[in-house]
Structure formats: C-alpha cells, structure tokens
C-alpha cells in the first residue's frame, strides 16, 4: 500500500512535469514561415552549410537584410511539402544527380536564366530547374602506411593493387570507375555498359570493402583498414592536411556536383531566384572554394583564387569526367536494382 | 467474467460492472491515438503501394520480379531472427541476475544496461568499428598473444555485424525479461528446493517456464526492431547484410519512388503482423490462461 | 522468505560461474564507452585509436557551438513528453488487451506493436499530411506525436510481460472487498506493473532520443535534434566531437541514474510486493 509521502511526491512530480513540458512546447514555436525578413534554405548541413554561410548568406544579408535559416534537405520531405501545397523552403541544395530527379518529378520551379552569367559558367551547369554550383571528385585515395611505394594513379592500377579496396556501395560513380579500370576511355563512358562494369567489379569482388557514407569511407582509408579505394576528395582533403596518413590523386576522377534549386511553391520564390543567382556568382564561388576543396562551377571564380588553392580544386578537364546526370535520371532506378541484385549475389 | 453485485454487504447498490468491461474501456485512449496517428497514415501507405504511379500491381510486380527485393527481405528476416536468438542467449543470464540481485547490484547492472541504450547507435557502431579494425584492439590482442599470425579482417563480416547488432539490441531484450522476472515469486523456487529439487531442476522446471512471457516479449521486441535496422549492418557488414530498410529508405528519400517504397513497406508490415499474431497466440497458451483472469 | 537452504560447494561455484558470465556480458555492453571516452580527448582532428595525444579541444568546440546545446534541448523537449505519453498510452493498451478478454487480441496487439518495425521514413511520409491538417508542425507537437507512436509499442510489450506473470486474483480480491475499478487499478494493479511502465518508458525515451527521420520531417525549419547533428558528421569525416558528445551524454546519464537511485532509496519502503 502506498503511504502518503511517496504518493504525494509522485503526483506532484507528474503534474509539474506535465505542466512544464506543456509550457515549453507551446512556448517554443519554431515556425519561421510567418516571419518576414527570413528565408529558408535546405542544405546537407555540416561543413557545406558553414561554407555557404560564409560565402553566400553573409553577403545576402548585407545586400538585402534577410536572414537565412537552414534546415535538412531530405528529398522525401520536399516531395511531401510540395504534394501538400505547403512548401516551407525557399531554396534547396542537394546532390545534382538527386536534384534532377526532383526536377523530373515536377517538384521544382523554373530558374530565371537571365539572372545567371551563362558565359562564365562551365558548360552543362545551368539547367532549366537547377544549377550546379561546385565540382567534387570521386577519386583514388590510398593509405600511406599501407601503400608505401607506387600508389595507384589510375583506376586500372587501383584494380591491380594487392590488398583491400574501398568503394561506394552505390552504382553512381562506382560503375563509371569500374569501366575506366576495364580500359574504357573517359569520353566513351556513357551510356554505361552496366554488365561490363559489373564484370569488372567481379574481378576484384573479394578485395572490395564497401562503404555507405562518406565519413565511413574516409575512416577506412585513414585507419588503414583498406590499402586504397575511391572516395570524394573533400572527405580526405582536410584529414590529409591534419596529418592523417592518406593521399589522393584527381587523375581520372568522376566529377559530381551540388545543385541549387527552388522548390515549387516556395514562399519567397522571387527573392529565391536572386539568392540562387548570388550563389553562382564568381565572388561567392571563389569564397566558397576557400573553405571547401570543391571546384567552382563559375569559371570567373578561378581568376579570383590563388594558385595554391586552384591546384587542389577539381575542375573539368580531359583527365576527368562529369557525372552524366541525365543518364542517371533516366536509368537510375533500373541500374540501382541491377547493382543491388549483383551485390547480394 | 466475474460479475460483482454489491448485494454482498447489502448496504449500497451501484450498477453491476465486470472487470473485463472496465479493462475494455481502457483501450479507448490508445485506440484513438493509434487510429489517428498510425493506422490512418499506414492505410495511406498501403493505398499508395497500389496506386502510385498508376492504379494496379506494377509496384508489386517489380518487387517480386528479378530484383534484389525478395532476397533482401529474406536476408532481413533471417538476420533479425539470428540477432534475436543470440540476444536472448546473452540477455537471459544478465536479466536473471538483475532480477534476483540485491538492490545495489540491481541498480549497478541496470545502469550498465541503460547507459549504452542512451548513446547514439551511430556512435556505438563506430566504436565497434574501432574494435574490429585491422589495427584495432581486438586484432592487436589476438596477434600479441600469438593466437593468430595476421590480423583478421573482421570488417565486413558476420562476426562484427552480429556483435554490433546484438550490442544495440541487448537492452531491449534485457529490460522486458527483467520486468517479467521480477514478478516471479522467489518462494516458489525455495519451495521446489524444499521438495527435493536441485537448483538446476528448480530453474528448469519452475523459473524458466514462469519467465516465458518475458522471453516471448523480449524476443518479439528485438525481432521487430531488427527488421527496421540498418545503421549497424551498413557500417560493420558487407553487401550480404543489405537490409530491407536500406532499400525502402533509398526509394523513399532519393529515388522518390513512393509507390515502390510503400509496396515494400507493406510487404514488411504483413510479414510482421503475421509473426506477431503467432507470438500472441503462443504467449497466451504459455500463460495457461492465467493472465486473463479466467 | 522461507528457510535458508545451504547449498553444497558445487552449487556455489555454479553461482560464481553465473556471476562471471554476467560480468563478461556487462563488460561487452560497456566496452564501447571505454573507446569513446579516450577518443574524445584525442588531439587529432580525425578519429584515430588509441589516441596519440590529449586535448580538450573537442569539448571546447561543443561549448562554443550553440548548436549542440540547442540540439540537446530540442531532443529533450521532444523525448521527455513522448516517453511520458508512451507510458500512459502503452500501459492503457497493455492493460486493456491483457485483461480485457478481447477476441481479436492478437490482431490488436500486432497493430499496437507494428510502428517499431516500420522504417521511420514511411511513417513520416504518412504522418506528414495529418500533421499539416492539425497544424501541429509549427511546434514540437508533431515530433512528440510521432515519437509517441513509436514509443507506445515499447511500453506495451514491457508492461504486458509483467502482466502476463500475474493472474487477476489480487484485483478480484480487491474488488470483492468493495473497491471500484479506479481504486483497484491505482492501488493494486499499478504498483504491480510499475516496474514495467518505468522500464518501458526508459526504452521509449531512448528510442526518441536517438530518432532521426521522424524528427527531420516533423520539426520546423531550423529545429535540430541531436541525432541530426551527429548524422551530419557522417556526411563528411568524423571528428572526435561526436565522441565528446557521446561522453557528455554518458556523464549526464550517470548523474540521472545516481539521482534515480537516490530517489528509489527513499521510495523503496513503500513498494508493494506482488505475490506477497
């Protein structure tokens, strides 16, 4: 039987906790929609968001006085918002090969092409509903403690390496490099010969250590869990500078991009167009490149950067290939299924 | 059900009520909450599986055709089963000790169970990566003591995945076991001893059967949770450990093919409801009907 | 308790073996903490174990960055009410299905428990339009509701496990003696199942605290939870910051448990022992 003392304590605690939490919940309304002078941009977060803040948002704030609130850029959330007619985001950033899928599903507004300096942008970066803003490289990296001499400088050499090889567990970019390892020329990559790529992967299947997230892949290389592998340059660039035993080469890399777009029904669509345009300007692109090792999509930005920085930035050239997002948008579903089936076999 | 008429004392005459009626009423609040916030959304999901992008069975046809889906579902179920069994074996001794120990020991064990529970799954999985690395502490210990000549490649591999997954799931097995074991009367065991049973016999014939509801509860819980699991297998396992949840998330978040994602989720749902119904039938038989006041 | 039985030596060793086994298993449970802790003091900016040098830089980074404190606050604001509500609704459901003699008890149980096996993104997609219509999205209510839905099964299963170990005889006795349903519940049933409710609530809180997808969908722009910040790190490369965060949570949990054990010491005098 409960005596008075403890029961009193418990009841009071429960009542207090209940009232307190209720007050907290209703008091902490987190909506930013109703407030003027604020815009919302959905990004991938982390260092990317920090770089945007320094390169774009601060300039935007000076120019227009508008604050930018960032939020997470889940594709499913975008679709849910647009479907319900309650779009909260003004601008979104995502991986280009995913943003094109959003475009094809009718989830994006058309961009106002007149706002972009088309002559300055690399060819293929300005699309109807989105714009590519940077180039990251899916490149060859190795652990310096495991691979002391003759590190692989191209995918063929990586395939021939004696030891474990790390690759991204998705077909995007992985199939491309498998073809390159098999001797296909950079310019002949698309449309992908999926079966040939899978056969090429079959040759090293026992050596492959698959990674699912960028940080995991970087950790595999840094820890020497693998000898070498494929990773995005951004994931190993900073660790290398901090003294981690990794190194990489941009030769034969596949260039992937972030894309900016405006969701359909964005609350501040007109201003969003200006914001996207600002992000593509040479000045903003140069500033961005100073914080993250991604090449600018705007050629004009290169002129504003010093030689040491330019040397490490992935830029479209004959030694690399930009991921063909049109190919992937059309064939992604089928290729993904085929790849997953191959993985499970 | 027992019907109580208060003719007993003869003093007052409140309306007759039955125990079962009262308990049935209790279902109303959770029923409302779940109907609105679970059943309704899920009906929408199931519907979408049959209607997105066009009404019909296209999504289901694609699921059961020549893709990775069936295999992945099978992998998911078998992995979940194995994790459940391993978890049960590992959890039972701990729960046993925790349920029967002194207060202070009980709290200590409880703390050791709850602390990992509140650490993020992501971080814990990375810690296991550190343990199982080629140059990790496990390999260092193995090579230093001469048990192996060269470091073992634990990652990716079954050992690492199951050690990691069982670690995540262990508290979910231990706590229901303890909750049930605590209500087992210690005097029954003492009585068995007095009647001539050895401790082992007492355990097998008295304690174990009485802990069955806890075993079934913990197992059901861990099994269901494991079905939706993907972080740990992704970080510690190989392609052999591709869980269905990964595929569903990929379809829902990146490919934005909600029709397919919904269909896959529906299949998973049907599987689980079936398994769980079996569990309930099993568990009611195990109670011997005691729990329902019959 | 009855008479003390003196067991021969080999039974004592059996008991010792059990204690040893349990200690090993508990060491297994706590092992990651002993990796995370030193990692958080590493002087390198990437994860490397064992650490080559020591630094408190990562703790400083957390203190300097308001996002971490904000995220923790958000996770708590969502998690505590969600755990609470899960305890209430989960217990009600367990009592009802456990003692209510429903014919379709199996199906009902399955529906209650189903939320935990579904990938959260599916539930999020399904809940989103409902939350919009109810106008919950502007506050934390939407996330709390979502987390309650996935917390209810945890409490339900745990409480049902406790209930199953008892028949209804004590309640019947109480009612025979004239107690009305509410009195019977509060003074007889609840103290017996309390352990299940609390343990279930702990599981529910833990599940909310680490939950990513529903939080992403059902919170407003700019509302970050702890799992979200940790998840972002996965997109780049890992710094010991997340090890520091985990260690802080570990320390906080220890404090909580110490408080709880202190409170329990106070209340233990008033515990109802079921079955005598």
Same domain? C8 vs C85: no
Residue C276 domain flag: no
CB pairs under 8 A between A and C: 146
- What pLDDT was estimated at residue B203? 83
The C-alpha of B23 sits at a distance from chain C's nearest C-alpha, in angstroms, of 5
- What pLDDT was estimated at residue B140? 85
Same domain? C70 vs C13: no
Q: Please tell me the total count of domains within chain C.
A: 2
Residue C33 domain flag: yes
Same domain? C39 vs C73: no
C81 contacts A21? CB cut-off 8 A:
yes
Residue C273 domain flag: no
- What pLDDT was estimated at residue C266? 65
- Selected residue of A46, A57, A86, A234 to mutate for chain C interface (largest C Cβ count, 10 A): A46
CATH of domain A136-256+325-344: 3.40.190.10
A105 contacts B239? CB cut-off 8 A:
no
**CA B223/CA C104 separation, integer angstroms:** 22
Per the model's pLDDT, the better-predicted residue between B59 and C98 turns out to be: B59
Q: Which residues sit opposite A67 in a β-bridge?
A: A38
Same domain? C235 vs C185: yes
A76 contacts B253? CB cut-off 8 A:
yes
The C-alpha of C198 sits at a distance from chain B's nearest C-alpha, in angstroms, of 9
The C-alpha of B238 sits at a distance from chain C's nearest C-alpha, in angstroms, of 18
Q: Which residue of A has its CA nearest to C263?
A: A6
- Global pTM reads 0.84
Partners of residue C35 in chain B, C-beta under 8 Å: 127, 130-131, 137
- What pLDDT was estimated at residue A98? 93
C90–B contact, CB cutoff 8 A: yes
In this structure, what is the dihedral angle of CA atoms A56, A59, A65, A66, given to the nearest 10 degrees? 0
Where residue C152 sits, what CATH number does that domain have? 1.10.3720.10
Tens-place pLDDT, residues A308-345:
998 899 999 999 999 999 999 999 999 999 999 999 88
Is CATH 3.30.160.20 the classification given to domain A19-133+257-314? no
Q: Which of A319, A317, A152, A311 is nearest to A252 (CA)?
A: A319
* Mean pLDDT along residues A242-263: 94
The C-alpha of A219 sits at a distance from chain C's nearest C-alpha, in angstroms, of 7
Residue C257 domain flag: yes
Using DSSP's 3-state secondary structure scheme, residue C42 falls into strand
* Mean pLDDT along residues C144-169: 88
B252 contacts A101? CB cut-off 8 A:
no
- What pLDDT was estimated at residue A26? 45
* Mean pLDDT along residues A278-288: 93
- What pLDDT was estimated at residue C274? 43
Q: Which residue of A has its CA nearest to C76?
A: A21
- What pLDDT was estimated at residue B198? 82
Residues lower than pLDDT 50 in chain B = 1-3, 5-10, 288-294
Residue C10 domain flag: yes
Partners of residue B191 in chain C, C-beta under 8 Å: 2
Partners of residue C160 in chain B, C-beta under 8 Å: 213, 217
| Minimum-distance CB partner of B72 among A209, A224, A344 | A344
Partners of residue A105 in chain B, C-beta under 8 Å: 256
| Minimum-distance CB partner of A213 among C234, C267, C269 | C234
Same domain? C71 vs C136: yes
Any chains having at least 3 CB pairs less than 8 A from chain A are B, C
C162 contacts B24? CB cut-off 8 A:
no
Query: Average per-residue pLDDT in chain A?
Result: 88
Tell me which residues of chain B, numbers 96 to 125, contact chain C at a CB-CB cutoff of 8 Å. Answer: 96-97, 103, 107, 109-124
- Beta pairing, strands A67-72 & A91-95: unpaired
Q: Where are the domains of chain A?
A: 19-133+257-314, 136-256+325-344
- What pLDDT was estimated at residue B15? 54
- What pLDDT was estimated at residue A22? 54
CATH numbers and ranges of domains, chain B? 71-242 (1.10.3720.10)
Q: Which of A46, A45, A72, A69 is nearest to A57 (CA)?
A: A69
Q: What is the residue range of C176's domain?
A: 66-268
Structural element, H or E, at residue C115 = none
Q: Which of A208, A72, A221, A25 is nearest to A140 (CA)?
A: A221
* Mean pLDDT along residues C81-105: 90
The C-alpha of B29 sits at a distance from chain C's nearest C-alpha, in angstroms, of 7
**CA A269/CA C196 separation, integer angstroms:** 52
Tens-place pLDDT, residues A65-79:
999 999 889 899 999
C216–B contact, CB cutoff 8 A: no
- What pLDDT was estimated at residue A151? 93
Q: With 50 as the cut, is the pLDDT of residue C272 above it? A: no
Same domain? C47 vs C177: no
Any chains having at least 3 CB pairs less than 8 A from chain C are A, B
Is there a common fold for A19-133+257-314 and A136-256+325-344? yes
- Selected residue of C133, C150, C164, C190 to mutate for chain B interface (largest B Cβ count, 10 A): C164
- What pLDDT was estimated at residue C89? 95
Tell me which residues of chain C, numbers 236 to 255, contact chain B at a CB-CB cutoff of 8 Å. Answer: 238, 242-243, 245-246, 249-250, 253-254
Tell me which residues of chain B, numbers 125 to 144, contact chain C at a CB-CB cutoff of 8 Å. Answer: 126-128, 130-131, 136-137
The C-alpha of B253 sits at a distance from chain C's nearest C-alpha, in angstroms, of 8
3-state secondary structure chain A: CCCHHHHHHHHHHHHHHHHHHHHHHHHCCCCCCCCCCEEEEEECCHHHHHHHHHHHHHHHHHHHCCEEEEEECCHHHHHHHHHHCCCCCCEEEEEHHHHHHHHHCCCECCCCHHHCCCCCECCCCECCCEEECEEEEEEEEEECCCCCCCCCCCHHHHHHCCCCEEEECCHHHHHHHHHHHCCCCHHHCCCCCHHHHHHHHHHHHHHEEEECCHHHHHHHHHCCCCCEEEEEHHHHHHHHHCCCCEEEEEEEEEEECEEEECECCCCCHHHHHHHHHHHHCHHHHHHHHHHCCCEECEHHHHHCCCHHHHHHCCCCCCCEEECCHHHHHHHHHHHHHHHHHHHHC
So what's the ipTM on this one?
0.83
Asked whether B23 and C182 are in contact (CB, 8 A), the reply is no
pLDDT-above-90 percentage for chain A: 72
Partners of residue B102 in chain C, C-beta under 8 Å: none
The C-alpha of A307 sits at a distance from chain B's nearest C-alpha, in angstroms, of 37
| Minimum-distance CB partner of C233 among A28, A46, A238 | A46
Same domain? C71 vs C153: yes
Q: Name the pLDDT band for A131 (thresholds 50, 70, 90).
A: very high
Partners of residue B220 in chain C, C-beta under 8 Å: 113, 157
Same domain? C52 vs C72: no
| Minimum-distance CB partner of B67 among A76, A224, A337 | A337
Tens-place pLDDT, residues B48-97:
999 888 888 989 998 898 789 999 999 899 999 999 999 999 999 999 98
| Minimum-distance CB partner of B118 among C157, C209, C238 | C209
DSSP states along chain B:
--EE-TTTTSS--PPPEEHHHHHHHTTHHHHHHHIIIIIHHHHHHHHHHHHSSSSSSHHHHHHHSSSSHHHHHHHHHHHHHHHHHHHHHHHHHHHHHHHHS-HHHHHHHHHHHHHHHTS-HHHHHHHHHHHHSTTSHHHHHHHHTTS-SS----SSSHHHHHHHHHHHHHHHHHHHHHHHHTTS-HHHHHHHHHTT--HHHHIIIIIHHHTHHHHHHHHHHHHHHHHT--HHHHHH--GGG--HHHHHHHHHHTS--HHHHHHHHHHHHHHHHHHHHHHHHHHHHHHTTGGGT-
C120–B contact, CB cutoff 8 A: yes
Query: C54 — phi, psi (to 5°)?
Result: -120, 145
- What pLDDT was estimated at residue C9? 60
Same domain? C42 vs C138: no
Same domain? C133 vs C12: no
Using DSSP's 3-state secondary structure scheme, residue C264 falls into helix
Tens-place pLDDT, residues A35-75:
567 899 999 888 898 899 999 999 999 999 999 999 889 89
CA atoms in the 13 A half-sphere facing the CB of B156: 26
Q: Which residue of B has its CA nearest to A345?
A: B240
Partners of residue A101 in chain B, C-beta under 8 Å: 254-256
Q: Which residue of B has its CA nearest to A101?
A: B255
């Amino acid at each position: 039987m409960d005596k008075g003392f403890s029961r009193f304590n418990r009841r009071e605690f429960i009542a207090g906790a209940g009232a307190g939490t209720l007050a907290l919940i209703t008091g902490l309304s987190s909506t930013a929609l109703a407030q003027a002078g604020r815009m919302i941009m959905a990004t991938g977060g982390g260092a990317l968001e920090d770089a945007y803040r320094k390169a774009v948002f601060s300039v935007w704030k000076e120019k227009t006085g508008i604050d930018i609130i960032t939020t997470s850029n889940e594709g499913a959330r975008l679709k849910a918002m647009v479907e319900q007619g309650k779009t909260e985001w003004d601008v979104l950033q995502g991986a280009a090969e995913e943003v094109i899928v959003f475009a094809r599903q009718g989830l994006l507004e058309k961009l106002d092409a007149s706002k972009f300096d088309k002559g300055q942008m690399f060819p293929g970066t300005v699309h109807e509903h989105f714009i590519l803003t940077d180039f990251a490289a899916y490149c060859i990296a190795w652990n310096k403690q495991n691979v002391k001499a003759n590190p692989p400088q191209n995918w063929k050499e990586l395939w021939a390496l004696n030891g474990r090889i790390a690759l991204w567990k998705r077909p995007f970019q992985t199939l491309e490099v498998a073809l390159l390892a098999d001797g296909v020329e950079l310019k002949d990559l698309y449309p992908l010969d999926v079966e040939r790529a899978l056969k090429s992967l079959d040759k090293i299947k026992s050596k492959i250590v698959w990674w699912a997230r960028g940080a995991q892949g970087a950790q595999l290389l840094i820890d020497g869990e693998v000898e070498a592998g494929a990773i995005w340059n951004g994931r190993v660039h900073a660790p290398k500078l901090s003294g981690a035993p990794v190194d990489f080469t941009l030769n034969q890399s596949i260039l992937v991009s972030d894309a900016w777009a405006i969701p359909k029904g964005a609350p501040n669509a007109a201003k969003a167009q200006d914001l996207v345009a600002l992000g593509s300007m040479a000045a903003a692109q140069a500033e961005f490149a100073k914080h993250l090792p991604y090449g600018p999509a705007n050629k004009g930005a290169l002129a504003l950067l010093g030689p040491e920085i330019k040397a490490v930035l992935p830029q479209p050239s004959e030694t690399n290939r930009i991921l063909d997002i049109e190919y992937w948008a059309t064939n992604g579903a089928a290729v993904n299924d085929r790849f997953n089936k191959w993985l499970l076999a | 059900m027992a019907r109580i008429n208060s003719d007993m004392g003869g003093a007052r005459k409140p309306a007759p009520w039955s125990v079962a009626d009262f308990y049935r009423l209790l279902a109303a609040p959770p029923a409302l909450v779940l109907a609105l916030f679970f059943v309704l959304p899920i009906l929408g999901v199931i519907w979408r599986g049959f209607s997105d992008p066009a009404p019909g069975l296209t999504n289901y046809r694609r699921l059961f055709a020549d893709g990775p889906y069936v295999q992945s579902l099978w992998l998911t179920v078998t992995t979940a089963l194995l994790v459940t069994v391993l978890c049960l074996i590992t959890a039972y001794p701990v729960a046993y000790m925790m349920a029967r120990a002194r207060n202070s020991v009980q709290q200590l064990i409880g703390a050791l169970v709850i602390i990992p529970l509140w650490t993020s799954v992501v971080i814990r999985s990375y810690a296991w990566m550190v343990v199982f690395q080629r140059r990790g502490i496990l390999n260092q210990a193995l090579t230093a003591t001469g048990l192996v000549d060269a470091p073992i490649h634990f990652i990716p591999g079954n050992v690492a995945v199951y050690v990691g997954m069982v670690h995540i799931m262990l508290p979910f097995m231990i706590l229901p076991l303890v909750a049930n074991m605590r209500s087992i009367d210690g005097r029954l065991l003492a009585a068995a001893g007095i009647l001539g049973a050895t401790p082992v016999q007492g355990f097998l014939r008295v304690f174990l059967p009485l802990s069955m509801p806890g075993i079934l509860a913990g197992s059901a819980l861990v099994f269901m949770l494991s079905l939706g699991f993907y972080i740990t297998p992704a970080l510690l396992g190989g392609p052999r450990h591709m869980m269905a949840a990964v595929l569903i998330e990929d379809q829902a978040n990146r490919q934005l093919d909600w029709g397919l994602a919904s269909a896959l989720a529906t299949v998973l749902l049907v599987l689980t409801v079936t398994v769980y119904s079996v569990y309930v039938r099993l568990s009611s038989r195990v109670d011997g009907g005691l729990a329902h006041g019959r | 308790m009855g008479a003390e039985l003196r067991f021969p030596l080999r039974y004592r060793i059996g008991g010792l073996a059990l204690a040893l086994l349990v200690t090993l298993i508990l060491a297994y449970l706590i092992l990651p903490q002993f990796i995370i802790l030193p990692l958080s003091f590493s002087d390198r900016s990437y994860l490397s174990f064992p650490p080559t040098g020591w630094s408190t830089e990562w703790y400083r980074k957390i203190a300097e960055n308001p996002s971490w404190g904000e995220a923790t606050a958000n996770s708590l604001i969502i998690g505590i009410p969600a755990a609470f509500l899960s305890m209430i609704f989960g217990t009600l459901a367990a009592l009802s299905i456990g003692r209510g003699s429903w014919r379709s008890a199996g199906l009902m149980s399955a529906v209650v428990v189903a939320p935990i096996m579904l990938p959260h993104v599916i539930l999020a997609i399904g809940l989103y339009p409902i939350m919009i219509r109810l106008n919950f999205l502007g506050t934390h209510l939407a996330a709390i509701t979502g987390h309650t839905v996935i917390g209810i099964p945890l409490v339900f299963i745990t409480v049902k496990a406790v209930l199953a170990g008892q028949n209804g005889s004590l309640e019947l006795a109480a009612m025979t003696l004239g107690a009305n349903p509410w009195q019977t519940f509060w003074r007889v049933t609840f103290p017996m199942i309390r352990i299940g409710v609390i343990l279930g609530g702990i599981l529910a809180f833990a599940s909310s605290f680490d939950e990513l997808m529903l939080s992403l969908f059902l919170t407003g722009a700019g509302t970050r939870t702890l799992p979200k910040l940790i998840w972002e790190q996965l997109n780049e490369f890992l710094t010991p910051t997340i090890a520091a965060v985990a260690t802080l949570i570990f320390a906080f949990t220890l404090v909580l448990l110490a408080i709880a054990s202190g409170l329990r010491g106070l209340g233990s005098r008033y515990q109802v022992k079921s079955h005598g």
